[in-house]
């Protein structure tokens, strides 16, 4: 009886802790990690420093929204399988709720005049955040010429219309193959090279009518293949929903990213906003479920098998190749969506100043977002 009560108390503490974090975790994965460390290592002492950084490495290595996966791993550490499920779910729900409410207003009025004025100043800040994120991931890898070549090739190929999924797969194959050749062996992942594109991507038809099933597939694919950062999600969304299906405009995509930035919790709840725009409340629920389902499955597999089998050096190289390809994709997407975010001299100035501030002072992005929003309001009132 005492054991059961203790288990219930652990689960209850997980629910309250991650709901709180879900409402205050502004600033992306890095800020979320800092808050989780403060909450669960320093304050609650659920984890040791070694435990925390071990989980941090796993969360950043496997595909999916990293901070959400970190929540699942901490939840499992503290309260087992139910802790894993509740840690991830309660971290997602606050952001999902806030984004759905904003999207419902956006959908009801076609646009929100007040929000549009604020977003004018926030959109250029989003571009700065994306540039900073790319550089932050690229900087420690500058001495890896093969990886840099993969990133450049992926970014270039993206401009020529090659699908993001194909580029990620080929990036992993190339890095894994080069590593394997040094050992005079061939990675099993090389077999993926022979998979036809039709088996890898079901979203080839252009200007298709909206369907919840296809919406589910778009975000399921994005969640399963999002490696290195939530910003990689943007490449999949733009390719599928803007370029090929024509369900979103470039402007709506930037709005969705901006809303993901101004709300707390995982950036991947951008899926919630887009799902609401396209399919109302059912679309919001389905897109969010599809986006995060792979994360739960991946973390389940990690918990079940990671300690037993560990991570081979070869698999690590393959994932490195995927990560470099993802960086190239992100760079290509930033260049393309900047056209709808930077529309005049003032918005260009906001983007440049925000980028400089991020590089020089590593400011919390929340302050830059607030500053951009205030500039947008000031422009609407006085200019």
Q: Residue 191: helix, strand or coil by DSSP?
A: helix
CA distance 265 to 39: 15
Q: Residue 77: helix, strand or coil by DSSP?
A: helix
Angle among Cα 161, 128, 169 to the nearest 5 degrees reads 35
CA distance 146 to 66: 25
Query: DSSP assignment of 288-318, as one string?
Result: HHHHHHHHHHHHHHIIIIIHHH---HHHHHH
Q: Which letter does DSSP use for residue 238 in this model? A: I
Per-residue model confidence (pLDDT) at position 201 = 45
**Along the chain (383 residues), what's the average pLDDT of each consecutive run of 10 residues?**
71 89 69 74 81 70 79 89 91 90 79 69 81 78 86 86 79 82 48 37 58 90 73 78 87 81 75 90 92 89 67 67 79 80 89 90 76 88 75
Please tell me the total count of domains within the chain.
1
- Distance separating the N- and C-terminal Cα atoms of the chain: 67
CA distance 17 to 10: 10
Residue 107 in tokens: 């959908």
Domain enclosing residue 336, as ranges: 2-382
CA distance 307 to 299: 12
The model carries a pTM of: 0.66
CB-neighbour burial class of residue 194 (10 A; exposed 0-12, middle 13-18, buried 19+): exposed
């Amino acid at each position: 009886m005492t054991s059961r009560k203790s288990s219930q108390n652990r689960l209850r503490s997980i629910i309250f802790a991650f709901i709180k974090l879900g409402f205050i975790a502004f600033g992306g994965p890095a800020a979320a990690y800092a808050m989780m460390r403060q909450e669960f290592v320093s304050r609650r002492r659920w984890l040791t420093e070694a435990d925390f950084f071990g989980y941090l490495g796993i969360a950043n290595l496997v595909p999916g929204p990293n901070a959400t996966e970190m929540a699942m791993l901490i939840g499992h550490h503290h309260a087992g399988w139910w802790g894993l499920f509740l840690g991830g779910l309660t971290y997602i729900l606050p952001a999902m709720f806030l984004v759905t409410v904003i999207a419902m207003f956006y959908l009801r009025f076609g646009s929100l005049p007040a929000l549009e004025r604020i977003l004018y100043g926030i959109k250029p800040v989003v571009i700065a955040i994306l540039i900073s994120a790319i550089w932050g991931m690229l900087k420690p890898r500058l001495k890896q010429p093969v990886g840099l070549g993969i990133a450049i090739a992926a970014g270039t190929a993206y401009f020529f219309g090659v699908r993001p999924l194909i580029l990620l797969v080929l990036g992993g194959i190339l890095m894994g193959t080069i590593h394997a050749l040094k050992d005079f062996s061939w990675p099993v992942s090389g077999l993926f090279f022979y998979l036809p594109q039709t088996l890898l991507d079901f979203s080839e038809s252009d200007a298709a009518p909206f369907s919840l099933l296809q919406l589910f597939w778009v975000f399921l694919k994005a969640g399963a293949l999002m490696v290195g950062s939530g910003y990689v999600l943007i490449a999949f969304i733009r390719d599928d929903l803007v370029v090929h299906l024509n369900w979103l405009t470039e402007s709506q995509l930037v709005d969705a990213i901006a809303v993901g930035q101004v709300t707390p919790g995982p950036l991947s709840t951008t899926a919630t906003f887009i799902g609401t725009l396209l399919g109302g409340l059912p679309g919001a629920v389905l897109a969010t479920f599809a986006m995060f389902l792979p994360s739960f499955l991946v973390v389940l597999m990690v918990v079940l098998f990671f300690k037993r089998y560990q991570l081979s050096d070869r698999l690590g190289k393959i994932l490195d190749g995927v990560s470099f390809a993802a960086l190239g994709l992100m760079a290509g997407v930033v260049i393309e969506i900047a056209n709808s975010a930077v529309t005049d001299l003032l918005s260009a100035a906001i983007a440049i100043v925000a980028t400089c501030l991020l590089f020089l002072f590593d400011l919390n992005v929340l302050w830059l977002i607030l500053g951009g929003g205030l500039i947008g309001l000031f422009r609407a009132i006085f200019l």
